[in-house]
Structures are given as structure tokens and as C-alpha cells.
Amino acid sequence: MKTPKGLQPLVDDGMIDEVLLPLKSGKEASVYVVRSGETRLCAKVYKDLAQRSFQARVQYQEGRQIRGSRQARAINRASKFGRRELENAWKNAEVDALYQLAAAGVSVPTPKAYVHGVLLMAMITDADGHAAPRLGEVDLEPALAVAYHMRLVRDVVRMLCLGLIHGDLSEYNVLITPDGPVIIDLPQVVSAAGNNAARAMLLRDVHNLRASLGRFAPELLTTHYGEEMWALFELGDLLPDSPLTGHFVFDEHHADVAAVMDSIEDARQVALIREQGREAAAQAE
């Protein structure tokens, strides 16, 4: 096939020898199967996104580290340079996450290189060497569904131990291989400690997995692994191999809103009195 514009620099540099076929195309990236020597790889070519897409991604980017104060100020002002830096940070987030997760034993595509805005990574295949199907495209026996669920939950735990949450995990970005499920698509990866919506996103990820695999193994539908792992994470007790049961006792106590408001008002009054005292002392001098 004709070499796409985004891949031509890699061909020119000798990093890939041939573009074999397009694999998928979405709003944020196009993925191609390429050949490098005798090896087939996936090449993910990121697209530049419109302003509307930047607004949609704000919730994911909260808590991410920006590499310099100048870049951070530009991003906060939403200048042209700032939007470009935000775009670069969005792309780099997936690359950085893949290297971290692969090193930690999470089942993700092995990254090979990131050059000219293109991510090269291992191709995930089925038993015949073709592109592996998504979780939502396969039928599973109940026992295998339970086994895959446990594999994926353990990968989510490993991610959380690194301070990361996928943020968009579902049956559409889990591939099924002869060796088990593989998690893909991580540009929206979330900071577990720095994002105010981290818990909600983690629970959404885990609940999506529960719903998808619960179609084949209904007993999974009553589990609460997300709540359990987050509770351990908040206490600082979550480890990659922490035993999980899927059981969780929910706090059903109602918040005493009136008492909280009274405490806030008391604190406000104390602060006001102290400020008045400082002003009186300054006038006396």
C-alpha cells in the first residue's frame, strides 16, 4: 500500500521497511501493520486534535506532570503554544505508561520506539498470526471468562500500584490472544493520586470489565473488586499481589451535613475574630 504521510519519516530513516495494511482508524490515531526486517509491528500515528477534543480530555489530564513551568503557564492560558504542549503531553502519556506497565508485568503491547510522533509496538495477534480480536468480539466459556477477569483485575491492580488508572477500559480496548487478554489504548491514562475523579474512573474501568465478562459468567456481576482495591490503595496497603476477594462492605451511614456546615461556620468565625484582632493590634501601634 502507499506509505501514509505520517509514516514516511520512519521509512526514510530505515526504521520500517514497508507499510502492510491499515489496522484501525479513530479520532485520535490511525494504526498500521508495518514490517521492520522480518518482524511485523504496529505503528500508531497520532492525529492532531481540534479544540473540542481538548475540552473533552481535561478530566483525564488533571494531575499530570508538565515538564516545565513555561509549558505549564502556556497550557493554563490555552495559548497556541500551550495547546501544542498539551497535545504532546497527551501523546507522551501513552508512551510513558506503556514502558512503565510493560516493565511491571502488565499485559500491554511491548513498546519498541517513539519517533516522529509515531509509536512502534509489538503486534498483538491470534493463534493464526492475524490481528487479535477485541474482548467484545469473542464468546467465552464461563470458566475462561472468570480466568480472564482475574487476569485483568490483577493488571488493573498493578497499574494502580504504579499510580496509574487506564481511564477508558472496556471490551473495546482489551484484545484476546492465545495467552490471554492484553490491554491497549492508554493516551487518557489517569494519575491515581493527582486526579480528583480517579476513584470514579477506576470503578468505571473495573465495572466495565465486570459487565463484559459477566455476560459469560454471571457470578462476576455481584463482585466489587474496584471498591476493594481502591480502599486498599487509599490506606497505602495495596500491593501488586494483594489478595482480593471481590467482596466489599459499603458505608451506609448518612453524612451529617448540618454538623459539617456548623464546623465550617465555626472555623470562619474564628478566622474572622483573629483577623479583627490583628487589625486592632496594627491600629494600636
Q: What is the CATH number of the domain that holds 196?
A: 1.10.510.10
User: Is 185 assigned a catalytic role?
Assistant: yes
The residue out of 93, 122, 151 marking a domain boundary is 122
Q: Looking at the structure, do residues 193 and 258 belong to the same domain, yes or no?
A: yes
The residue out of 122, 152, 176 marking a domain boundary is 122
Q: Looking at the structure, do residues 83 and 160 belong to the same domain, yes or no?
A: no
Q: Which of the following is catalytic: 128, 168, 237, 262?
A: 168
Q: Looking at the structure, do residues 114 and 153 belong to the same domain, yes or no?
A: no
Q: Looking at the structure, do residues 181 and 104 belong to the same domain, yes or no?
A: no
CA angle at 179 for the pair 175 and 181, rounded to the nearest 5° = 30
Q: Is residue 127 in some structural domain?
A: no
Q: Is residue 197 in some structural domain?
A: yes
Number of domains the chain contains: 2
Radius of gyration of the chain (CA): 24
User: Can you give the pLDDT at residue 52?
Assistant: 41
User: Is 241 assigned a catalytic role?
Assistant: no
Q: Looking at the structure, do residues 267 and 143 belong to the same domain, yes or no?
A: yes
Q: Looking at the structure, do residues 118 and 234 belong to the same domain, yes or no?
A: no
CATH number at residue 56: 3.30.200.20
The tens place of each residue's pLDDT in the chain, 285 residues long, gives: 889 999 999 999 999 999 999 998 887 889 999 999 999 999 999 887 654 455 555 555 555 554 555 554 544 555 565 566 656 666 788 899 999 999 999 999 999 999 988 999 999 999 999 999 999 999 999 999 999 999 999 999 999 999 999 999 999 999 999 999 999 999 889 999 988 899 999 999 999 999 999 999 999 999 999 999 999 999 999 999 999 999 998 877 666 777 778 788 888 888 888 888 777 777 776
Q: Is residue 128 in some structural domain?
A: no
Q: Is residue 28 in some structural domain?
A: yes
User: Can you give the pLDDT at residue 75?
Assistant: 45
Q: Which of the following is catalytic: 179, 185, 241, 266?
A: 185
Q: Looking at the structure, do residues 144 and 113 belong to the same domain, yes or no?
A: no
Cα distance between residue 269 and residue 260, in whole Å? 14
Q: Is residue 252 in some structural domain?
A: yes
Distances (CA, A) of 81 to 78, 85, 230: 8, 6, 37
User: Which residues in 136-167 are b (16+ Cβ under 10 Å) and which e?
Assistant: eebebeeebbbbbbebbbbbbbbbbbbebbbb
The residue out of 69, 88, 122 marking a domain boundary is 122
Cα distance between residue 110 and residue 282, in whole Å? 65
Q: Is residue 201 in some structural domain?
A: yes
Cα distance between residue 123 and residue 20, in whole Å? 12
Q: Is residue 276 in some structural domain?
A: no
Q: Looking at the structure, do residues 160 and 114 belong to the same domain, yes or no?
A: no
Q: Looking at the structure, do residues 167 and 88 belong to the same domain, yes or no?
A: no
- Identity of the amino acid at 94: E
Q: Residue 199's domain spans which residues?
A: 133-271
- Ramachandran area for residue 25 (φ above 0: left; ψ -120 to 50: alpha; else beta): beta
